[in-house]
Structure 1
Amino acid sequence: MIVLLPENVSIIEVGPRDGLQNEANQVPTEAKIQFIQLLKGAGFNEMELTSFVSPKWVPQMKDATEITDSCLDDTRNFVLAPNRKGVERVRLTDVSAIAVFAGVSNSFNQKNSNRKTDELLSELLPLVQELKNEGYFIRACISTAFYCPYEGKMDIEDTIRVCKKFVEAGADELSVADTIGMATPEEASALFTRLTKEFSSTLLTAHFHDTRGMALANIYACLQVGISRFDTSAGGLGGCPFAKGATGNVATESVVYMLERMGISTGINLAEVMKAVDLIEPHLSRSITTPFRSLYLKEKESLPNKT
């Protein structure tokens, strides 16, 4: 059987928000802005910039307004707004694309927002409808779509149900996440095959964490079933404060390198991505040691470079 892979793939860079939100060191606002600007220079047309969340719970995001004031442009710039209070803050900015999120797992949502899944949805869905009526682009981030750190494997029907709720409320995009990095290629293929059939008119994005080294294999499985949008994080930054042990998102540089070697265009300049990684690393609590970066440091001159 011949599988036709997409000629082009959209990479949504989530490092500035999802990548930095769980960082132990308080990264200076100016460093975040420089990080974002370097990434934009690498060719990203979609990016998560920051989160309008309570600084009490996520102090790394306390400078959300300063970030948006400095970094908005004519590309699609997402900010996360987890509740009505966050949305009210976003409404005071020029942001036009908002991300909301909910887990499939009751236990995860209880830890994250002190609400079970249906309770959380009853608050978020009317808010999504309001925002759509106001002209915002809405990205619905679906956490624990495969596995939960507290409940184990999620039923695929439960994941479909949560996704359907957001689509019916008007969400433009579903970003469906393997939050703790346990999904296999077979599971990735099964879920995204269902999603493409159920929600053919909705943008579908796969979001994989690389906790067990399976992210690239899962991305390849998704390519085979027609998915052409992926969340990635420069340097593999990330983690989840409510999913202990979950490591970073799949590294942008690894995904771009793989896709470009396969003849799939991303429009991303790898050398520029690595400049952004080099800039942010001194501000982090850990070194960036992705396999691609190790190669980059040894063989800068031999890397393929998108021009």
Structure 2
Amino acid sequence: MLRISLEQWRMFRSVVEFGGFNQASQGVHKSQSSIHNAVGKIEESLRIKLFRIEGRKTVLTEAGELMLKRANYLLDEAEKIEAVGKTLGNGTESQLKIAIDEMFNQTILYQVLEKVSRLYPMLQIELVESILSGANELIENAEVDIAISPISLRDGFSEPLCHIEFVAVANPEHSLHLLERELTLQDLKGHRQIVVRDSALTTKRNEGRLGANQRRTVSHMQTSIDMVCNGLGYAWLPAPSIKTQLETEQLKPLQLKHNGKRSTQLQLIFKDADRLGPAAKSFLSELRAQCKNLPTV
């Protein structure tokens, strides 16, 4: 039989989070005496001291720091159990939020969404288009249920989904094509590069930027494609996204001596499979089926 309740562990954690008993009382809307009693119960039951007073500060003891790590895990797992139970109790979810990196093959995405929509006609699907670490940030902040991202999830599930090939391209009339020879990195540095900024609000990554003396930074992949088609610069663009432009010769691959093509691994990421409802699992199943014949690791 457990001698310490989850609520007592929550009170202990609140003292740490808010920086003291009085602050915790205001933060969790409990009386200061009830918080003191909860912490005292833990200390009495385990025969340890969780806090010490340094001046006006309430500081964790060494034992308190160890117990906080365990309490955080315990409380987080308890929240997950409740969330799973809620998912099971609600049956089919009414809404599914998905973050999709803009480099992902749009044709495949639309096919998957159409299949899921037929299976769950009342399902509301919200797509959030992202770049680089933007999808991971949305998952970490619990703003979406599932994401497709080029970056593995630090704390959660990551599954290799497919590779996306990037091609260095420019408008056929671009001066780089007029050189009529293999191009070097030094050749590129003298021309304007179009890059797409990371959509994350906190941790941003800079990838695919080669120190061009001139650069135009945009927020969406389609803007980058349009600018390159109009001769405003060159860029590495995802091959599935520019298939039509290459076929109609609006874009032409650059004759690079090295790295004319690149490949990026896309990951399927989510926090906890047990918290996903039937519609979300159907989306995952159909997505895997559509991508199984595409290049992976």
> What TM-score do you get using the length of structure 1 for normalisation?
0.20
As a proportion of its length, which structure holds more strand? Answer: 2
Radius of gyration: which is bigger?
A: 2
